[in-house]
Amino acid sequence: MTLSVEPIFKDSLFNSNNGVVQDCVIFKKSSELFFEIPKNRTLENSFFHFGLIFDSSHYLKNDNWEGIFKPIKALYRGIISPEEIVSIQLGKTSNNEYDEAEADKHDPYYWRITKAIEYKRPDWALYMFAGNVQGLFNGNRISEDRLLQYLRLFPEEFISIHKERLQYAFNYFDERGYLLALDKAPKLIKIGKGLYDEILAVGVN
């Protein structure tokens, strides 16, 4: 399997996990508790959480969901523009240039991660993409193998510097009963049962 040219989502399965989990209260409370700890209130963690929220489509977007952004908004408001966030999410250059036709040929997460590295985007951008792929994994949108393939795209130096913090955030927000270990190579260790049985019935890519 090559991530670089394979679009990962089949149209018939794209929305297969939307709203499967009807109540986001555990996720909401765990998010609040995470950011109540002073050392966790960093720009990088806020964007990890932003990415996680963005791709946690397995939660029903009800009234409770609206409050899930509250812990992080103040951490980057006025520091990073919405335009810069969107530019990085799309894999644009630092000059906001974008080859949409070329991007459409590639796996979107492969494209975004590799372009962020190529264009020397700040660390918070890679945290955001780490959150994205965990959101996909939590919702059973991607397999263990694909998650690890994404994580292997991250530069060794970045992983070395941020290993403890990335492991901590991933393991804190895990919903599938895994621990992530970022040693010589990313590794997932199954330690228990996932939070939501209904997620395991969703088709995985």
pLDDT along the chain (205 residues), means of 10: 53 70 92 93 93 94 81 72 90 85 86 94 96 95 92 95 97 97 92 90 69
50's tokens = 């932003």
According to the model, what pLDDT value does residue 66 have? 81
* Crossing angle (nearest 10°) for helices 82-90 and 123-138: 60
> What's the whole-model pTM score?
0.91
Query: Nearest to residue 151, comparing CAs of 138, 168, 170?
Result: 170
The pLDDT assigned to 93 comes to 87
pLDDT given at position 69: 72
Contact present, 109 and 129 (Cβ < 8 Å): yes
* CB 105 within 8 Å of CB 4: no
The pLDDT, as a whole number, for residue 5 is: 47
Question: In the chain, where do the E strands start and end?
Answer: 178-182, 186-190
State the pLDDT at residue 100: 83
Give pLDDT, residue 133.
96
Q: Are 132 and 109 in contact (CB under 8 A)?
A: yes
